[in-house]
Amino acid sequence: MAAMSKKTAGQWGEDQAVEFLKRHGFVVIDRNFQTTRGEIDIVAKRGGDFYFVEVKTREAGPMATDLAVTPVKQRRFKKTVGSWCVKNNISDSFGLVCATLMVVVNKLTKKVSFRLVAWKSV
């Protein structure tokens, strides 16, 4: 990941996240769903569960933490998930999981690592 704008780095990270999820058996069914409340970067499905994923792209170091999604952001995110479910006629009989997918880039080694952390079942 060469020097790039925050927006470009975020898009690159989301693309990497999609490929990671596909390699691990997820089917990506939506990207960048937006409402006035917020955005869901990726909606994916695996088995009978829907995963609503917030992607955070970080350089390796102290900012590459699961705490990147604050409790306030989590509450807004859950409301956005609710909007997505209503729009797509998804009931709460499905497993609904909110998660953060950290895409961590080590600039020295040029390696990318991933960490998927589910923080809430809706």
Q: What is the pLDDT of residue 5?
A: 65
Percent of the residues in the chain that have a pLDDT greater than 90, as a whole number: 56
pLDDT band for 88, please (50, 70, 90 cuts): very high
Can you tell me the mean pLDDT for 110-119?
89
Nearest by Cα to 73 from 39, 104, 101: 39
Backbone angles phi, psi at 74, to 5 degrees: -60, -40
Does the pLDDT value for residue 103 go beyond 80?
A: yes
Residues 6+ apart with CB under 8 A from 100: 53, 54, 55, 56, 66, 68, 69, 116, 117, 119
CATH 2.60.40.1930 fits 6-121, yes or no: no
Does the pLDDT value for residue 121 go beyond 70?
A: no
